[in-house]
Structure 1
Amino acid sequence: MKVVAFGASTHKTSINKALATYVAGLIDGAEVKVLDINDYEMPLYTQDREEELGSPEQAKQFLADIASADALVISFAEHNGHYPAAYKSLFDWASRTNREVYAHKPAVYLSTSPGPGGAKSVLGAAVASAEFFAGNVKASVSVPNFYDVFDVEAGKVTDDAVNAELKEAVAKLTA
C-alpha cells in the first residue's frame, strides 16, 4: 500500500507532520511518502491571481502526489481555530484545479496541539468538508497535549491509550 502523509503546517519542526509520519508508519508493509507543504509554496490564492496565473505547477504536483497514493494520513495544524493560511491557500489552488482534491482515497485525519484542545476545531472542519472534495475519511483522531504523549526525539507516541486509538484508526484504512 502506498501512503501519502503530511502535516498541514509549514513549521520546520511541525508536530502535525511528526504525528502524521508516525501514524503512517503504523500501517504494516506500507510504502510511505511524507510530503512537506513548504515544497508547494505559491502565491496566496485569490480569484484575480487565478485569472492571471492559471493553475500553478505546485498545485498540480500536490494533486499528483495525492493521486499517487492508495491511502492518506493527514494531520491538521490549527491557527486560531482554523487551517493555517499556507495550507488553506494550497488547498484552494488545488481545489480550483481539481475539486476532487482527495481523489476518494481512504484517509485518516488527525490533529494535535501542545494544549488540551488537540486542534479539535480544525479537525472538525476538515472532516465536515471532506465529502465536498472527494475525501473518504475512515477515522479521525485528535491528540491533545502533544508533548506529554509523544517522544519527539524517538518520533513515537508514548501513551498506550493514544497508541491504541491511532492503531485502531489506521486499521480502518484496509478494512
Structure 2
Amino acid sequence: MKTSRDELLRIGEEIVCRQGLAGLSFGEVAQRAGIRKASVHHHFASKAIFAAALVSRLAELAEADLSDAEADHRRGYLALKTLLRERRDQIDDGHALDPLTALAAGADALDDATRAALGHARELVLRRIASILQAGRRDRTISVAGDIEEEARAVLAQIEGAELAARAAGDGAMFDRTIATLEKRMAAH
C-alpha cells in the first residue's frame, strides 16, 4: 500500500492537534498509516521538515477560508457562528486543539522559517475574522466597538484561549463558556 504525503500530513495533523508537535512521532504516524517508519522519513527527513509542510498546508487552507469569507454574502453573525462551530468541532470535546493553535502553543520548537510561516497562516485567520466582523458591523448583526483589526486579534485570542481552557479541563463545555461574550455580541440574532 502506497501512502501519500498528504495522507501522512493528515495523520500527523491529528496527532499534533491532540499531543502537540512535541508529541508527534514518526513511529506513530507510520503505525496509523500502516507503513514502515522509513517510509515516513522518505517524505519527511525530519520533524522540522514535517512541521514546515504542515504549516504550509494549513496556510493553504486558511487562504481558502479567507477567500470564502470575503466572497460570503451571508449576514456577519452567520459567518461568525460558522467560524465558532468549526473551531468547536476541532477541539473534540476538549481533547484536542485546532492545528494552528496547537502549533502556536509549541512555537518554541519551530525553526525560524516555520515560525514565520505559522505567523503568516495566523494572519490569514485574522483577516478572515476581520472580514466577518466587517460584514457584521455593516449589516449590524455583530457588535463591533473599535478598530476591526484590533477586534479580530481579540476574537482570535479569545477563541484560542477557549480551546486551551477546554483542553486543560478536558471538557468542551469550557470552550462554550469561554466564548460566551462572543455569542452575546450576536445575541439579538
The TM-score by the shorter chain falls in which range?
0.3 to 0.5
More strand as a share of residues: 1
Question: Under a length normalisation based on structure 2, what TM-score does the superposition of the two structures give?
Answer: 0.31
More helix as a share of residues: 2
